Structure 1
Amino acid sequence: MSGASVHVLVLPGGSYATHAERSSEPIVDWLASIGLSASVFRYPLMTRHPGPLLAIRAEIGSRRAAGVDTVGLMGFSAGGHAAGLAAYAPHGERDEVPDFVALAYPVVSMELGSHGASRINLLGEDADAALRVATSLDRLVSPDAPPSFFWHTVGDTVVPVEHAYLLGSALARSGVPHEAHIFERGNHALGLAREAGPASAWTTLCRSWLRSYGWAP
């Protein structure tokens, strides 16, 4: 990847109802500090599926059309779900699929009863079983999914760590290159997780993963 341009789109959390500040510009600033071009992409809110997915795909396509060689997504909570949809859902044009995803405490399953806010805001209160399956990341992973990095905490009471285990199992079954980190302590929405104990290591771990692919200097 030497000499190739890389850009990371940061997708904030916020239950598909808001864009959380903690996982917006501070993440872009950190990525800039390690030599990566990045920007916040404020995907549509309170918009039914596939609205956010289509907007993210269009943004990836526009970045590639502007000459970016490698486009990655870094998503947090509901933004992690949005990033995962862009990476794993079928029927996307090749130039609209990210080259990699890094997900922080992502919402993975729309079938679980936990964290109903993201599900209701994206799918509506009366979403049927088929729609929940079609928007659950663990159901969408296929062998051609892009390399994935994700982390979560056992102490997360908003989006339980079960979501992360479902994603990890799906990636493993499909043989998708991935790196996962589960930290014992820490609640939801940690962002950069500075002064959050062991979870604060996620930025160092993610940078090492990005460097291993040549995506970060």
Structure 2
Amino acid sequence: MRAGNKLRQTALGLLGWMTMTAAGAAEPPAQPLYPGEIPGAIVAPDEESVRDPNHQWPFLQNISRPTITAYRPAKQDPKRAAVVIFPGGGYRGVSILKEGYDVARAFNEMGVTAFVVKYRTPSDKHMKDKRVGPLQDAQQAVATVRRDAAKWQIDPGRIGVMGFSAGGHLAATTGTMFKTPVLAQWTSADVRPDFLMLIYPVITFTDATVHWGSRQMLLGDAPASADMQRFSAELAVSDETPPTFLVHAADDATVPVANSIRFFEALQARKIPAQLMVYPAGGHGYGLNNATTGDRWIERCRQWLQSQGWISRPEE
């Protein structure tokens, strides 16, 4: 098969799963995250691809054109909360379906509007400073959702972020590095999320429990000590860090559970409301369903959101 035909078939396969759910319903259309020029971008070819297009869980890699996809519930919760979702992928890509679109639909079932962000993967090929490229996308997503709150019929004071694995690191840094935004057009109030939900997150870049691959992708092969400190989210917790819900498995061999524990302890030290769920088993990257325990942590998340007043209780 000629290379051009092979690429075309791959592209068609990508289009198919991006526009159709497993049940055959159309997915909402993805929109460019930025209305014009992408900040900090280097002009480069679009080399985005799907790693193993035939796999059950599509994984996008080499992302240089960030997008945001809005999922609106059929019946909105009266408190009109919203969540911005960052799928995981070790900063090499994003598990867009398992940790993105499927999760957005689960929030829709709660009456919560959800936004899935396909953020840029760090690369010297298409970024002037790959250390802050993903955070620029995360802050842009939170700020634009808040700015357009009336359009989406959501409460601008009830916008949370959720992240998985390296996407959890991105969510955690969004919740701790908002005081000095990495995009000049926004203020700290624009980009600060109101609550965090971190699912088997990468947190630390300094300790032995670091996920080496995520740190290498974001900071390079020989990161400066100052950068490792700066991007260790547990060290950046302040009195203004949002309330947080965390989920991890004790046997996670990819991202050790110590990452979530360290962030939880930092929150506790500041008396910030937090809930940490540690499964006895489950490994890493299980998405909505921990197959080992048979539990859907999203139900515990729903209860936490209700207990904190972000969404309505059944009796309300």
* TM-score grouping bracket, smaller chain normalisation: over 0.9
Pick one of 180, 186, 194 that aligns with 1:91: 180
Instruction: Flag structure 2 segments of 5+ consecutive residues without an equivalent.
Output: 1-76, 124-129, 182-187
Distance in 2 between residues matched to 1:71 and 1:206, nearest whole Å = 15
Structure 1 residues 88 and 191 mapped into 2: Cα distance closer, same or farther (>3 Å)?
Answer: same
Q: 1:173 — aligned with what? A: 269
Structure 1 residue 82 corresponds to structure 2 residue 164: no
Structure 1 residue 159 corresponds to structure 2 residue 258: no
Distance in 2 between residues matched to 1:81 and 1:7, nearest whole Å = 20
Q: C-alpha displacement at 1:161, in angstroms?
A: 0.7
Distance in 2 between residues matched to 1:52 and 1:13, nearest whole Å = 12
Structure 1 residues 129 and 136 mapped into 2: Cα distance closer, same or farther (>3 Å)?
Answer: same
Look up the SS of the partner of 1:85 in the other structure. Answer: helix
Q: 2:119 — aligned with what? A: 43
* 1:65-124 deviation line (CA, Å, top 9, x unaligned): 112422110100000000000001142411211000100000000113442110011111
Look up the SS of the partner of 1:91 in the other structure. Answer: coil
Structure 1 residue 13 corresponds to structure 2 residue 83: no
Pick one of 203, 206, 209 that aligns with 1:111: 206
Look up the SS of the partner of 2:277 in the other structure. Answer: strand
Structure 1 residue 132 corresponds to structure 2 residue 232: no
Q: Which of the two has higher C-alpha Rg?
A: 2
Is residue 247–residue 260 contact of structure 2 (8 Å, CA) maintained in 1?
Answer: yes
Distance in 2 between residues matched to 1:5 and 1:35, nearest whole Å = 8
Structure 1 residues 194 and 107 mapped into 2: Cα distance closer, same or farther (>3 Å)?
Answer: closer
Distance in 1 between residues matched to 2:245 and 2:215, nearest whole Å = 23
Question: What code does the residue aligned with 2:223 have?
Answer: A
Q: C-alpha displacement at 1:196, in angstroms?
A: 3.0
**Larger relative contact order (Cα-Cα within 8 Å, sequence gap ≥ 6):** 1
Q: 2:216 — aligned with what? A: 120
Structure 1 residue 209 corresponds to structure 2 residue 300: no
Distance in 2 between residues matched to 1:16 and 1:183, nearest whole Å = 24
Give me the TM-score of the superposition, normalised by structure 1.
Answer: 0.94
Q: 2:135 — aligned with what? A: 53
Look up the SS of the partner of 1:206 in the other structure. Answer: helix
Q: C-alpha displacement at 1:194, in angstroms?
A: 4.7
* 1:18-70 deviation line (CA, Å, top 9, x unaligned): 11132111111111112111121111112412111121111111111112422
Structure 1 residue 65 corresponds to structure 2 residue 153: no
Aligned residues: 215
Distance in 1 between residues matched to 2:78 and 2:256, nearest whole Å = 40
Is residue 122–residue 131 contact of structure 2 (8 Å, CA) maintained in 1?
Answer: no
Distance in 2 between residues matched to 1:54 and 1:175, nearest whole Å = 28
Q: 2:99 — aligned with what? A: 23
Relative to its length, the structure with more helix (as a share) is 1
Structure 1 residue 32 corresponds to structure 2 residue 128: no
